[in-house]
Structure 1
Amino acid sequence: MSHNVLLIGGHGKIAQLLTPLLLARSWNVTSMIRTADQTAAIEKLGQGQPGKLNVLISSVEDVKSEGDAQKILEQVKPDWVVWSAGAGGRGGAERTNAIDRDAAISFTKASIHTPSVKKFLTVSYISSRRNKPSWWTDKDWTSAQKVNNEILPTYFKAKVAADEVLTVLAKERFDEEAEKGVPENERFAGISLRPGTLSDEKAGGIIIGKIGSQGKISRATVAEAIRAVLETEGARGWIDLLDGQEDVSEGVKRVVKDGVDSVEDEDFEAMKKNAAKL
């Protein structure tokens, strides 16, 4: 079945690696980019692919509300949305909050409140959580705390806020659809894909699921993982991953089959209160 994918942050490194993978599945991709001078680089990614590639020039910095995001969804009409945008540390705290928190949350809310959107996948990072998971070592937690509180404090607060809004609202929609008798495989899937430190190595295998916080993963492998998660029925929730030996598709299928969700050990009631403020 063909799908229409809105890829937000289409000029980013992961997004450019992901675009041909999605098109190769005969899925149609609308790559949302910031400026017209990025168009040529994106259009090259669609050459010779069975899926159709469209380019949408629209800066995420202009998305200030759910309504702004909704207008873009109405224009593109996607059934899947992938958030791969980010301030990238440029522009200071104000820009980080505008993109990684506010625009991300606006697209999350708009997507979940649009019945025709069936999946929303955000690219987060492995340390984006408030509580120490039971499967982490003290060293894992110390390392994550250093990143979140000392190295990237504004980014952490922005990303964890967006992750929590996605988690809470996705569960609400999933439960509402369950009450209406919608089959489980047709209910909304909210996905937070959570890689470790990114590298530019070639694509390889993964370790995935309830894993530690320390380690690297190549952007090419992350792109492969996004493709695998999108095409795996039942994939939802928080998915942590690092470089490893397991085949990407097999690893994704395994954690989905086993019902592994790395959101475990987070405080859902606290999440609801946090999300309600945003």
Structure 2
Amino acid sequence: MAHKILLIGGHGKVSQLLTPLLLARSWSVTSMIRSPEQKATIEQLGQGQPGKLDVLISSVEDVKSKGDAQKILDQVKPDWVVWSAGAGGRGGAPRTMAIDRDAAISFTKASIHTPSIKKFLTVSYISSRRSRPSWWSDQDWELAQKVNNEILPTYYNAKVAADEVLTVLAKERFDDEAKKGIPEKERFCGISLRPGTLTTEKAGGVMMGKITCQGKVSRETVAQAIAVVLETEGARGWVDMLDGDEDVDAAVKRLVKDGVDSVEGEDFEAMKDGASKL
């Protein structure tokens, strides 16, 4: 099936690696970028590809509400949405919260409440969680706490809030569709892809699932993983990933087959309470 994807943050490094992979699958991509100066760079990514590439110039900083996001979704009419935007540390704490939390949540809510959209994938990071998972070592937890509370506290607060809204609303829609008798393979998929420290290395294998949080991962591998997760039936939930030895395609299929979701260990009721306030 030829899917239509809205890629938010299309000029980002991961997105530029991802765009040709999506187009190579004969999917249509609308790459949302913030300025006209970026357009030529994005258009080059579509050359010689079977899929159709459109460029939408619209800054995520202008998205202040679910209604603002809905206008863009109504214009593009995607069936899948990928969030790969971020403040990137520029503009201080207010800009990080405005983009990585508020705009991300606005698109999340609008997408999940649009019946024609079947998948929403956000690119988060591996330490974006409030509780210590059972498979992390003491050193893992100490490192995550240092990153989240000392090194990147604003980014952490923004990302974990957006992840939790996605998790809560995706489950609500999934459960509602189950009650309506919709087959599981046709129900909504909310996905938080959670890489470690990003590098410029060539793509390779992965560790994926219930893994340590200590490690790096190539942006090329992350782009490959996004494409594979999107095309794999039943892939949903939190997907932690680092560089490793397993083939990306095999790793994703294994997670789906075994029902692995790295959200395990989080307090869903607390998540739900927090999400209701955003």
TM-score normalised by the shorter chain: which range applies?
over 0.9
Distance in 1, matches of 2:53 and 2:230, equals 18
Distance in 1, matches of 2:212 and 2:266, equals 15
Matched AA of 1:176: D
Aligned to 1:21: 21
Q: How does 1:146-185 map to 2 (within 5 A)?
A: 146-185=146-185
Residue aligned with 2:178, SS: helix
Matched AA of 2:46: G
Aligned to 1:144: 144
Matched AA of 1:223: A
Matched AA of 1:118: K
1:35-60 deviations in Å (ceiling 9; x for gaps): 00000000000000000000000000
Aligned to 1:77: 77
Matched AA of 1:64: K
Matched AA of 2:266: E
Q: CA deviation at 1:176?
A: 0.3
Residue aligned with 1:71, SS: helix
Matched AA of 2:236: R
1:220-268 deviations in Å (ceiling 9; x for gaps): 0000000000000000000000000100011001011100000000000
Aligned to 1:235: 235
Aligned to 1:98: 98
1:126-182 deviations in Å (ceiling 9; x for gaps): 000000000000000000000000000000000000000000000000000000000
Q: CA deviation at 1:205?
A: 0.4
Cα RMSD, aligned residues only: 0.3
Aligned to 1:127: 127
Instruction: Give the structure-1-normalised TM-score.
Output: 1.00
Aligned to 2:12: 12
1:55-100 deviations in Å (ceiling 9; x for gaps): 0000000000000000000000000000000000000000000000
Q: How does 1:183-194 map to 2 (within 5 A)?
A: 183-194=183-194
Distance in 2, matches of 1:102 and 1:46, equals 30
Q: CA deviation at 1:109?
A: 0.1
Residue aligned with 1:203, SS: coil
Aligned to 2:61: 61
Residue aligned with 2:127, SS: coil
Distance in 2, matches of 1:201 and 1:71, equals 38
Q: How does 1:32-47 map to 2 (within 5 A)?
A: 32-47=32-47
Distance in 2, matches of 1:95 and 1:204, equals 33
Residue aligned with 2:93, SS: helix
Matched AA of 1:79: D
Alignment gaps of 5+ in structure 2? none
Distance in 2, matches of 1:132 and 1:138, equals 9
Instruction: Give the structure-2-normalised TM-score.
Output: 1.00
Aligned to 2:251: 251
Matched AA of 2:20: P
Distance in 1, matches of 2:8 and 2:44, equals 17
Matched AA of 2:40: A
Residue aligned with 2:49, SS: coil
Q: CA deviation at 1:210?
A: 0.1
1:175-206 deviations in Å (ceiling 9; x for gaps): 00000000000000000000000001000000
Distance in 1, matches of 2:133 and 2:162, equals 19
Distance in 1, matches of 2:136 and 2:124, equals 18
Residue aligned with 1:102, SS: helix
Aligned residues: 278
Matched AA of 1:212: T
Matched AA of 1:235: A
